[in-house]
Amino acid sequence: MNVVSEISGVSLPEMARTYGTPFYLYDSAVISDRVDQIQKRFPLVRYAQKANPHLAILDLMRKKGVLVDSVSAGEVHRALRAGYPAEEIVYTADVFDDRAVEMIKNHPIQVNCGSPDMIRQFAEIRPGGEVFLRINPGFGHGHSKKTDTGGPGSKHGIWHEEIPECVRLAKECGIRIYGLHMHIGSGSNFEHLSKVAHAMAETDAGPDIRVISAGGGLPIPYRETDQPIDLDKYFEVWDSQRKEIERRLGHEVEMEIEPGRFLVAESGYLVAKIWAIKETAAFKFYLVDTGFNHLIRPAMYGAYHKISMCSADGRKLEKSQPAAVAGPLCESCDVFTQEDGGVVITQELPQAQIGDYVIIHDAGAYGRAMASNYNTHPFPAEVWIEDGKHSLITPRQSFDEAIGGERFPG
């Protein structure tokens, strides 16, 4: 039965009373552990901060020697604020915008071009510079079509058949292609991730390649029946292809990997309070004070998140039953227990009372990062656990802060 009363020795009811609900919770020890796991295999790790760009997480990554990927000028700004040297930041996108152009002019950040137009524009921004190319290998994969970033239906990356033309274009523009990057989708399985390595080895982007990036997309075991990815095996596949590239080019080639969710998802929880319990002909619903505005993955593509519970008064929770968990938003899809297509399902949960707490697991990636103020619900607080102590890293947003810079006309 899914009952959790503490995280890393810290009482959940105590934190709920201290910070109010809902709140995000991050266990720093889990992040450190995942970084250690991947650094044992891959010599160069770059964090895809779009998974969770909080300054506390970026600071931890930097201290552990992890570089950072940014997909917008705002994320570049975050990385700089977190203390990253500009040289350790890469900007990865399919387009520039005015703010990104200014960032690249003013800071020596690396650039990963995802379209031929970006090559031309980069040459104007930084004449004689060096770039990575992000390649669409012609196939993709992910736990949902909405997370598939490869293949003919994907906007991401330079289509693999256009690489010779891009090599010619870069030479014509006076810039050097020194790195290649491929990423086919978040939550991809081992078979598809391995195909990326072979596609990388077959890509000829000129003689100056010095770095290849395996991208991200590493899955995590959201369900108890899921198996963790075999990092040793994955590294061996990529390292063998890296060596093939070295043999072809006749010089050393570095390899980096760019995980996001793998490093942070399992560290995070979204903690909410039950405010109503109601039944229909088909379901018992626990209605809580958080919704898809704070964790959109279930509503967006039926993503599964394990749910646990904790009593508010210290009583022992017993007797499980199938229950659905839903939020307060004025939308039918505001349900945390659903399959792709909006089909409501249940999880086995204890019999609860109003005031008890619901804990949604694996919310460290794409929780707060994709949150909104829909229905003018303020953003939750964010709480950090380190060395058995909890601390506030983001205060709960006020109503006035949610309204922000809005003003009347005139």
User: Catalytic residues, which ones?
Assistant: 330
Using omega within 30 degrees of 0 as the cis cutoff, is the peptide bond preceding 221 cis? no
Q: Give the pair of three-digit tokens for residue 310.
A: 């904790």
**Helices 98-106 and 116-125: crossing angle, nearest 10°?**
50
Phi-psi category of 271—alpha, beta or left, where left has phi over 0 and alpha has psi -120 to 50? beta
SS3 annotation, 126-170: CCCCEEEEEEECCCCCCCCHHHECCCCCCCCCEEHHHHHHHHHHH
Q: Rounded to whole angstroms, how far apart are CA atoms 177 and 160?
A: 15
Q: Give the pair of three-digit tokens for residue 180.
A: 């290649």
Residue 330 sits at the vertex; the CA angle it makes with 324 and 333, to the nearest 5 degrees, is 45
Cβ atoms of 286 and 323 closer than 8 Å: yes
Q: Rounded to whole angstroms, how far apart are CA atoms 141 and 335?
A: 26
**DSSP state letter for 335:** B
Cβ atoms of 16 and 42 closer than 8 Å: no
b/e sequence 118-134, b meaning 16+ C-beta within 10 Å: bbebbbebbeebbbbbb
Q: Rounded to whole angstroms, how far apart are CA atoms 231 and 41?
A: 7
Question: Nearest to residue 91, comparing CAs of 177, 103, 125, 208?
Answer: 103
Q: Rounded to whole angstroms, how far apart are CA atoms 139 and 154?
A: 9
**DSSP state letter for 374:** G
